[in-house]
Amino acid sequence: MSDRALPATPMTWKDPAGKGTAGCLLFVLMLAVIVFLAINIGPPYIAAKSLEADLKTEVSRAGARYYANDVLMKEVLQLAKKNEVRLTEENVRIERYAGQLFIKVRYQVPIDLYFYEYLMKVDIKVSSYIGTL
């Protein structure tokens, strides 16, 4: 072993140009914005996707059991209520054409981002054949 002392170097978070701290702060700021957006946009998006999955199941059942349009409308509105989506009959369109049953749902969800109000537009289209195989 040598008795030479190593030169003391200060521990810093930056390179000689000073970019390390700025890059770290920029990353933390971007991460905070992404988390903020996920918290505000996530729940309505998840509710819309859950409603779409439930509607796919419901349209298959309605086609197999020959549900009338008014019964199907009540089922769709109940599914929307279960998924915490505010729908009215004007937002739902039920059509029967060429042996198929179509349900089209269109609605908008206002999302408040404190500095901007984003209007998330949801358009769900599901279909099934009428009758059993």
Treating both helix axes as pointing N-terminal to C-terminal, what angle do 69-82 and 19-65 enclose, rounded to 10 degrees? 150
Mean pLDDT of 82-100: 92
pLDDT at position 113 over 90: no
Name the pTM for this structure: 0.76
- Residue-wise pLDDT tens digits, 30-78: 999 999 999 999 999 999 999 999 999 999 998 888 889 999 999 999 9
Contact between 62 and 79 under an 8 Å Cβ cutoff? The reply is: no
pLDDT band at residue 89 under the 50/70/90 scheme: very high
Tokens coding 127:
């279909």
Structure confidence by residue, pLDDT tens digits, 10-32:
555 555 665 677 788 899 999 99
